[in-house]
Amino acid sequence: GDSVTQMEGPVTLSEEAFLTINCTYTATGYPSLFWYVQYPGEGLQLLLKATKADDKGSNKGFEATYRKETTSFHLEKGSVQVSDSAVYFCALIPYSGNTPLVFGKGTRLSVIA
Amino acid sequence: KAGVTQTPRYLIKTRGQQVTLSCSPISGHRSVSWYQQTPGQGLQFLFEYFSETQRNKGNFPGRFSGRQFSNSRSEMNVSTLELGDSALYLCASSFGQGVSGELFFGEGSRLTVL
């Protein structure tokens, strides 16, 4: 079945460091891909998405490119802030759309000043 | 506009008891999904309701059930609680039947089973 694999955390970075969180997927057809973020004590919220190959999603300085050839959707940010500390989830929804979101296990990011 | 509201936020139960969790979606949203979040398993899909009909169901035992009312509010019930049911239960709503994949999550109900 469809699945998402994320790099294990936790990831600890200093403020202003470059961030990459790896995400690869297994799916038939052309899924839509998402990154969700969960700040401490809160529910998840959509960070960015891409619906077709080579699309780049971006929001709040984060970006991710849908790479079909490598079945990847890595999350990047050029300069992280303490406020970016959160758990990041990669997710997909199959092309058919009539099935629920499939989430990765999440990667916890801690940014220290 | 108000977000997704889940009640109660925290609750403690003992093994064998049952629990009911409530979710009020964003106004106008007709789809409600439920997820169980645990440190070991991450987010696991429980079920999705759209216009009072269960559209999708995850791989959970029959002790887990849910329903949706005509105003789109949803409840989930867990009977005969087990220690392993301790988790954060997240509700999410969307306007359509989740086709876009954009879900709006509540803050969750944290269940502890002793």
Q: Do B43 and A93 touch (CB under 8 A)?
A: no
Task: Check residue A22 and give its pLDDT.
Answer: 97
B103 interfaces chain A, CB cutoff of 8 Å: yes
Segments of chain B with pLDDT less than 50? none
Give how far B88 is from chain A: nearest CA, Å: 10
Band of residue A29 on the pLDDT scale cut at 50, 70, 90 = confident
* In contact, A23 and A72? CB cutoff 8 Å: yes
Task: Check residue B97 and give its pLDDT.
Answer: 64
Residues of chain A positioned with their CB less than 8 A from the CB of B105: 43-45
Task: Check residue A96 and give its pLDDT.
Answer: 67
Give how far A79 is from chain B: nearest CA, Å: 26
Question: In B, residues 25-44, which contact A (CB 8 Å cutoff)?
Answer: 33, 35, 41-43
Q: Do A98 and B41 touch (CB under 8 A)?
A: no
The share of chain A scoring above pLDDT 90, in percent, equals 78
Task: Check residue B98 and give its pLDDT.
Answer: 53
Element housing B27 (H / E):
none
pLDDT at A26 over 80: yes
Q: What is the CA radius of gyration of chain A?
A: 13
* From B4, B48, B102, residue closest to A100, measured CB to CB: B48
* In contact, A105 and A22? CB cutoff 8 Å: no
Range with the poorest average pLDDT among A53-57, A96-100, B15-19, B32-36: A96-100
Closest CA to B4 of B112, B114, B107, B109: B107
Residues of chain B positioned with their CB less than 8 A from the CB of A34: 101-102
Measured between its terminal Cα atoms, the distance across chain A in Å is 41
Considering only CB atoms, which residues of chain A are within 8 Å of chain B?
32, 34, 41-46, 49, 89, 91-93, 97-106
DSSP state of B9: S
pLDDT at A87 over 60: yes
Residues of chain A positioned with their CB less than 8 A from the CB of B97: 98
Closest CA to A90 of A41, A32, A29, A40: A32
Task: Check residue A36 and give its pLDDT.
Answer: 97
Give how far B93 is from chain A: nearest CA, Å: 11
Task: Check residue A109 and give its pLDDT.
Answer: 97
CB pairs under 8 A between A and B: 61
List Cβ neighbours of A34 (8 Å cut-off, separation of 6 or more): A46, A47, A48, A49, A90, A91, A92, A93, A101, B101, B102
Token digits of residue B102: 């954009």
